[in-house]
Amino acid sequence: MLKFLRDNSARACDGISRRELLEVGGISALGLSWPDLMRAQAEDTGAERVRGFGSAKSVVVVFLFGGPSQQDMWDMKPRAPAEARGDFKPIATNVVGTQIGECLPRLAKQADKFTIIRSVSHTDFEHGSASFTALTGHPHPKPGTNTPATRDDFPAYGCVVSKVKPTPKPVPDSVVLGPVMHQGNRPPMAGQHAGFLGTGYDPFRIAANPNLADFKVTGLGLRDAVTSVRMKQRGSLLSAFKSHAGGLKRSVAVRDMDRLHQRAFGLLVSTQSEKAFNLRYESAKLRDQYGRSKFGQTMLLARRLVEAEVPLVTVNWAKKNNDQWDTHAQNYPRLRKMAPAFDQGFAAFLADLQQRDLLKSTLVICLGEFGRTPKMNKQAGRDHWPDVYSVVVAGGGLRTGEIYGSSDRLAAYPQYDPIGPWDIAATMFHCLGIVGTRHIHDRLGRPFRISPGRVEPGLLV
């Protein structure tokens, strides 16, 4: 919240000093007017009064790149025509009246721990721009494109958290588990880094497969020749240099490098970070429960990062060819191949969080960039369909064991309570204790609202 009380100089009749008015005038020159500031202040205060504000310590975003089929997993339509309802049958869950696809038997036993949002909707049919929306909560400025990532992009969720609410813990503010995502052979897709905030706010990325026997996170811990004492001495020397150079004008690139140095120093001297990324501390039995797959062990690693209080963890299901959720052809053979690892890993993750009393403080969002068409195509697949799809949420101040919204009889369009991905993002920020109506600024000082969406009270406990 902005405050302008600087001195005890003469004040106008409303209690505002001349100096404060001059400061407000300077802010107006940057594009922020006095009414804007007053409105933002009021919104900040109002947001804090809405239930659920700040209820989550961490968020885990599970991104199923490609767009999973809502009709085959979360929103079954057994009475629809055969070409729409598909091969999978609905099965009962441990929540009376709720059914999901037979390809998710383990998650059916955990349905009391999550809510299925069956009315998510937008209009972007392309992977690149729609993935940007899923990972930033903002519509892409060029919808329907695979425009590559640039440093003018709006930052990904974790990068915003790193900017406005960094953790005091000796762990990264934001971690991405999985490789950088590409659409085909194109450059990296937008929505995966800090964009206009600069490289100093980029997430800490682990691209290696945690299911491999030789898995380790490089860059954590000190070399044998460097003791912790020597490292701290180096940190003191660097700080002294910066204090002497404090009066110099620094470029954006230099400021980014400063932040990178600070983050690197904190990680290198932190045993907490090293332990958080080390799966050797987990029992073989628990690792088996998650499944000895890349996804299963990645979800176990995500749970360790939640325990270490990393504010935002993103898990990317980003593989090649027939291991993506982009099922334009052979929809059912491919889902039968992918669903078991997803079902086991995600179900074990939710159960593990609950057992460790972490679910109520950890908000989980499982989503793709869109869903699939109501009818099968000539290649026995389903094509892109953003008009309605399903997102699964759990914990962190959200309601569980429920269904939010509904689609029509073909899972083609919302029937009740349509909600946009930006609204889910606004609700996520709210639960993290971040007011979505506030602004962050790019390198030119231009303000951008953190979220264009609205907090959905129907999702909050």
What are residue 343's phi and psi, to 5 degrees?
Answer: -60, -50
Nearest CA to 63 out of 295, 287, 400 is that of: 295
What are residue 63's phi and psi, to 5 degrees?
Answer: -105, 115
Residue 216, Cβ density class (10 Å: 0-12 exposed, 13-18 middle, ≥19 buried): middle
Q: Is the separation of the CB atoms in 197 and 155 below 8 Å?
A: yes
Max CA distance (Å), the chain: 78
Q: Is the separation of the CB atoms in 461 and 51 below 8 Å?
A: yes
What is the reported pLDDT for 254? 55
Long-range CB contact pairs, 24-31, < 8 A, 24+: 30/445, 31/445, 31/446, 31/447
Nearest CA to 170 out of 273, 261, 239 is that of: 273
**Distance, CA of 156 to chain centre:** 7
**Confidence (pTM):** 0.84
Over its length of 461 residues, how does the chain's per-residue pLDDT go in tens digits?
Answer: 433 333 333 334 444 444 444 444 444 444 444 454 455 554 555 777 789 999 999 999 999 999 999 999 999 999 999 888 889 999 999 999 999 999 999 999 999 999 999 999 999 999 999 999 999 999 999 999 999 999 999 999 999 999 999 999 888 999 999 999 998 889 999 999 999 999 999 999 999 999 999 998 876 654 555 555 554 555 555 555 555 555 555 555 555 556 555 555 555 455 677 788 999 999 999 999 999 999 999 999 999 999 999 999 999 996 655 578 999 999 999 999 999 999 999 999 999 999 999 999 999 999 999 999 999 999 999 999 999 999 999 999 999 999 999 999 999 999 999 999 999 999 999 999 999 999 999 989 999 999 999 999 999 99
- Supply 341's token pair: 């690892």
